[in-house]
Amino acid sequence: MLTRKQHELICFIDDRLKATGVSPSFEEMKEALDLKSKSGVHRLISALEEREFIRRLPNRARALEVLRMPDRPVAKKPAAKPMATPRPTPQPANDVIELPLHGRIAAGVPIEAIEGQATLPVPAALLGAGDHYALEVAGDSMVEAGILDGDYALVRRTETARDGEIVVALIEDSEATLKYFRREGAMIRLDPANRSYDPQRYRPEQVRVQGKLAGLLRRY
């Protein structure tokens, strides 16, 4: 028989898994149960694990799987021990996806966009819906947007962009650059985020949007 807090916690975890496919964080569990510290969450998780209601997925932080559920709501009369309900394996918050790594992209003047066979492991939680790829940033023209030389730009494939979005722009089908996208009359303007660089202006037929910035990955 579970305590009230144990019952509340497994219901919260189960609801979150059904809604999003990922386990709630310990901070979210602490707030949901109105606990004073995360150590209380750890104790409840350990108790549920010992009773074989949940299990932790190995080598994956904060990834939990509900093995069986207690009666919901709690029955007023004694009930038979609930049978274990098979559940699909949840999508852990830190699953890793291997993204295609397509060479280096200029955050300064345009450089050649290199198509390579390398891949970059990226936590799935950093990506949203859509098809993605990665590019290594070269240059400093986007530093005021927090994009530094050596960062990895995580890019969602798309051929359209709105003014003010950071895009991968392919110029004359040979060079790629990472810039703010803007329309200026009949021209396309690619703006840097560094006062040391000037905007670049092109005719629309010279520029093809190859994707929009979806995230950054930085290695130390």
Q: CATH no. for residue 192?
A: 2.10.109.10
Residues 59 and 104 in one domain: no
CA 52 to chain centre: 30
90 within domain boundaries:
no
164 within domain boundaries:
yes
Residues 100 and 208 in one domain: yes
With bands split at pLDDT 50, 70 and 90, how would you rate the model's confidence at 64? confident
Pairwise pLDDT comparison (41 vs 91), residue with the higher score: 41
Q: How far apart are CA 198 and CA 164, in angstroms?
A: 16
Averaged pLDDT score across all residues of the chain:
81
Residues 133 and 32 in one domain: no
What's the confidence (pLDDT) of residue 5? 86
Q: Are 62 and 47 in contact (CB under 8 A)?
A: no
84 within domain boundaries:
no
CATH number at residue 8: 1.10.10.10
Active site residue 179: yes
pLDDT in tens, 172-213: 888 889 999 999 999 999 999 999 999 999 999 999 999 999
Which candidate, 105, 91, 86, 94, places its Cα nearest to that of 175? 105
Residue 98 has pLDDT above 80, yes or no: yes
| Reported pTM | 0.54
Residues 50 and 111 in one domain: no
75 within domain boundaries:
no
Q: Are 168 and 158 in contact (CB under 8 A)?
A: no
Residue 166 has pLDDT above 90, yes or no: yes
Active site residue 174: no
Q: Are 52 and 68 in contact (CB under 8 A)?
A: yes
- Catalytic site residue from 18, 39, 81, 141: 141
83 within domain boundaries:
no
- Catalytic site residue from 5, 46, 81, 179: 179
Pairwise pLDDT comparison (61 vs 138), residue with the higher score: 138
What's the confidence (pLDDT) of residue 92? 46
3-state SS string for the chain: CCCHHHHHHHHHHHHHHHHHCCCCCHHHHHHHCCCCCHHHHHHHHHHHHHCCCEEECCCCCCCEEECCCCCCCCCCCCCCCCCCCCCCCCCCCCCEEEEEEEEEEECCCCEECCCCCCEEEEEHHHCCCCCEEEEEEECCCCHHHCCCCCCEEEEECCCCCCCCCEEEEEECCCEEEEEEEEEECCEEEEECCCCCCCCEEECHHHEEEEEEEEEEECCC
Q: What residue type is 104 in one-letter code?
A: R
Residues 33 and 141 in one domain: no
Tell me the residue range of the domain where 33 lies.
4-66
Residues 106 and 199 in one domain: yes
